[in-house]
Amino acid sequence: MTQPPFASQSATGKLPAEGTQARRFGKTRSAQSTALLEDYVELIADLLDSEGEARPTDIARRLGVSHATAIKAIARVKRAGLATARPYRGVFLTEKGHALAHRVRARHRLVVDLLRALGVPTESAEADAEGIEHYVSETTLKAFAQFLKARG
């Protein structure tokens, strides 16, 4: 069966079964709801490592949001059992927070590395990865790692 040049393999024009499609969208919504928690935890870990402390003001400035927004989001991170805070002493990660930070950091790096391996310029890779990372499954991550390893 001959294909026209550059034709998509996935352009069949048929809709997936309703249940299948609903499950896919549901997964995406669930990932979306944890994206903010992941970004905060990753940033807190980065600040703790490189600055020794993670203050709400610095978190807000790095995220590009107001400090009020950051404080409310940090409250949500605390509610999720990922962090604790001491006023004027900054934010700290719990065991659970540290574990999440490690996973999120590894995933972020892997996504950036893959994009760069595909020829995406560094800044685009970093910017896009900030969004993409939250929607990459374990299965897909394994494929990324495999590809990078094979490619050397």
Binding site for Mn ion (CB under 5 A): 39, 42, 108, 130
Residues that bind DNA (CB under 7 A): 29, 33, 35-36, 55-58, 64-69, 71-73, 76, 79, 85, 87-90
Nearer to a second copy, 81 or 137 (CB): 137
When asked if residue 89 is in the footprint of a second copy (CB under 8 A), the reply is no
Question: 34: closest CA among 95, 121, 103, 112?
Answer: 103
List beta partners, residue 92: 84
With 0-12 / 13-18 / 19 or more C-beta atoms within 10 angstroms meaning exposed / middle / buried, residue 29 is exposed
119: region left, alpha or beta (phi > 0 left; psi from -120 to 50 alpha): left
Q: Which residues bind a second copy (CB under 8 A)?
A: 6, 8-11, 13-16, 18, 21-28, 31-32, 35, 39, 46-47, 49-50, 61-64, 109-110, 112-116, 118-121, 124-128, 130-132, 134-137, 139-140, 143-149
